[in-house]
Amino acid sequence: MTSKANSSNNKKRTQNEQWVSKYRPKTVDELAHQDEVVSALKSSLASGNLPHLLFYGPPGTGKTSAILAVAMDIYGPDMIKERVLELNASDERGIEIVRTKIKNFANFAVNKTTGSNGSPGASFKLIILDEADSMTTDAQAALRRTIENTSKNTRFCLLCNYISKIIDPLASRCAKFRFKPLDESAMIDRLKFISEKESVKCSDSVYKAIQQVSEGDMRKAITYLQSSFKFFGNNITEQSIYDISGALAPNLIKNYLETCKSNSFEKLQSMVQSLINQGYPASQIISQLFDTIVGGEYKGMNDKQKALVTIKLGQVDKCLTDGSDEYLQLLDLASYIMNQFSNTSNSMDLD
């Protein structure tokens, strides 16, 4: 009875597991798309001497997965918990934590381990600081001193979205690697691999929709795939992805711009009210309008009109941040775009 119960619990746990964690790369060889980073990391692993690292780039591009894969290759599954300290955004990482927890962990020397996957192992520990750009300047300054004093026993890996928020004395002590957003083919290939493992059946247009709404964020893309499969089973459509992600379908953005061409204020009011009634946030509408107009997909405006509308988008976004009414701001934006269409030969003063 006990073995059957344990088997049932393990099966249930596997079914409920997040696919983001389940299909996270376990080794450096499994990392997708970041070819330059993978090549450099493999060279360091082969030599057995890892420098301090600074990984930066947009969310969901594999920064955490990369350093965890490196740790697994160096220490193996048995020693990784003892030799690796990981602190993420949910942990307190002020100056006191740097002076106590991080410093204490870094100070003690360790014996050399036997690595996995052909890695020679290492005689140092590893400290991973996720979202290091949210650390205070004082904490980063204290960390710089700790890195200097414990470099014989410990290697540090800093993960961040914005390298400009890392102080120069800290960044200069690390080997810097930029993680770029995953391109369309790499993302779709990975989604298809996961779909095959999880028996998910959907069309290529669905994968394309996931890639578009996730904007190069692999973590977000996998989450959308799992969520849509959980809610819709194998009946996943493009609209399912837009509903799950909260993004507008491309035809709604096209309709917004086409209505602006109609030169009818009543139609503008009706269209904007319809978007608000459907629950779409104004910030999402503005973001997708910007991508459509500036991204080169939309051919209905000349460069001057695009420039003026882009400035107006920034002004509307600022008003929304300050707490303005979403309906009024979207209507103001639509009216401005309508005027741009009706005055193709005249430049307009934004005031």
Whole-number mean pLDDT of the chain? 83
Looking at residue 10, its pLDDT comes to 47
For the range 236-240, what are the long-range contacts, defined as Cβ-Cβ under 8 Å and sequence gap of 24 or more? 236/200, 236/202, 236/206, 237/206, 238/205, 238/206, 238/208, 238/209, 240/206
Q: 60, 186 in Cβ contact below 8 A?
A: no
155: tokens are 């290697």
User: Are 167 and 210 within one domain?
Assistant: no
Q: What is the pLDDT of residues 127-148, one digit of tens each?
A: 899 888 888 888 888 888 888 8
Is residue 351, in this structure, part of any structural domain at all? no
User: Are 67 and 122 within one domain?
Assistant: yes
Looking at residue 159, its pLDDT comes to 92
Looking at residue 329, its pLDDT comes to 92
Looking at residue 25, its pLDDT comes to 83
User: Are 39 and 124 within one domain?
Assistant: yes
Looking at residue 209, its pLDDT comes to 92
Half-sphere exposure of 159 (CA within 13 A, CB side): 21
Looking at residue 344, its pLDDT comes to 59
End position of a domain, from candidates 143, 178, 213? 178
Please count the structural domains in the chain. 3
Is residue 277, in this structure, part of any structural domain at all? yes
Is residue 311, in this structure, part of any structural domain at all? yes
Altogether, the residues listed in the chain come to a count of: 351
H or E stretch including 221?
helix 218-232
H or E stretch including 55?
strand 53-56
Q: Which domain holds residue 298?
A: 250-342
Q: Please tell me the distance from the alpha carbon of residue 237 to that of residue 219, in angstroms, as a whole number.
A: 20
**In which residue ranges of the chain is pLDDT below 50?**
1, 3, 5-13, 345-351
Rg (CA), the chain: 25
End position of a domain, from candidates 123, 156, 178? 178
Looking at residue 318, its pLDDT comes to 93
Q: What is the pLDDT of residues 36-67, one digit of tens each?
A: 888 888 887 777 778 899 999 998 888 888 89
Looking at residue 114, its pLDDT comes to 61
End-to-end CA distance of the chain: give it in Å, rounded: 76
Question: For position 202, which CATH number holds?
Answer: 1.10.8.60
H or E stretch including 206?
helix 204-214
pTM of this structure: 0.78
Q: Please tell me the distance from the alpha carbon of residue 170 to that of residue 135, in angstroms, as a whole number.
A: 12
